[in-house]
Amino acid sequence: MLSYPVPEAEPAARGIGWLRASVSRFANGEVHARRRAIVEEIVAGIDPDGLRRAYDGHPVAPLARALGVAERVIPGVVADVRVAAAAYQTGDAAADAAVDRLVAVFGGGYDERTAAHIQVLVQACDATATLIERARTRTVDEVLRTDPPVAATRRVGPDGAVVVVPLTATPFGAGPRGCPGREHALALVEGALR
């Protein structure tokens, strides 16, 4: 069976480049496994029922609270996560300042644990908002079966070329690199639809 790894991010010291180079999303093998374990540990410490009850307009806000972010900085965190999420796939340097502010919120260390906290927020940002929007007109089960929040992913083919892999036939959260926060995303959807 052929392996199609994810395209890895180039190393960077700060900003969106650092985030991409420090998260499990853009890593393979042992590095991916180690970083994913950190994300899974962080997500395991978040109560989905608390997210369901605390939803208040954007999925990042209750997640940030659950991660211990001070209430007074939540609006700025939501804004910065939205900027970082928009640049997450491309690495657009326009997001550098937003990522550096998020690093400061999580203690100021440019390390894998800080990156994992930011990754939880960034990866939940657009995908969960998309789930919520789609679930306003259809059942959540229908959306999850037919219209996943992330339509495609990129992989490196055997020839070294980057290929786009559609995810429309893949249930949300399935597969070896499936979303570790599936239960949490669904709790946020339920909270938003109340």
Residue 64 in any domain: the answer is: yes
Asked if residue 173 is part of any domain, the answer here is: no
Query: What is the SS3 string spanning the chain?
Result: CCCCCCCCCCCCCCHHHHHHHHCHHHCCHHHHHHHHHHHHHHHHCCCHHHHHHHCCCCCHHHHHHHCCCCHHHHHHHHHHHHHHHHHCCCCCHHHHHHHHHHHHHCCCCCCHHHHHHHHHHHHHHHHHHHHHHHHCCCCHHHHHHHCCCCCEEEEECCCCCEEEEECCCCCCCCCCCCCCCHHHHHHHHHHHHC
40 CB burial (10 A radius; 0-12, 13-18, 19+): middle
Residue 51 counted as domain residue: yes
What is the predicted pLDDT for the residue at 2?
A: 52
Residue 119: pLDDT over 80: yes
Question: Residue 68: left if φ>0, alpha if ψ -120 to 50, beta else—which one?
Answer: left
- Quick one: tokens of 37? 């374990």
Q: Does the predicted model carry a pTM greater than 0.75?
A: yes
> Which amino acid, 11?
P
Band the pLDDT of 63: cuts 50, 70, 90.
Answer: very high
* Domain annotation covers residue 79: yes
| Residue 4 lies inside a defined structural domain of this protein | no
Note whether residue 34 is domain-resident.
yes
**pLDDT band, residue 32 (cuts 50/70/90):** very high
Question: What's the rounded mean pLDDT across residues 145-152?
Answer: 78
Look at residue 89 and tell me if it is in a domain: yes
Which pLDDT score, from 0 to 100, does residue 179 have? 87
pLDDT of residue 172: 76
- Identify the band that residue 1 occupies on the pLDDT scale cut at 50, 70 and 90: very low
What's the structural domain count of the chain?
1
Residue-number span of the structural domain to which 34 is assigned: 15-138+181-193
Instruction: Provide mean pLDDT across the span 144-166.
Output: 83
**Cα gap 185→125, rounded to integer Å:** 10
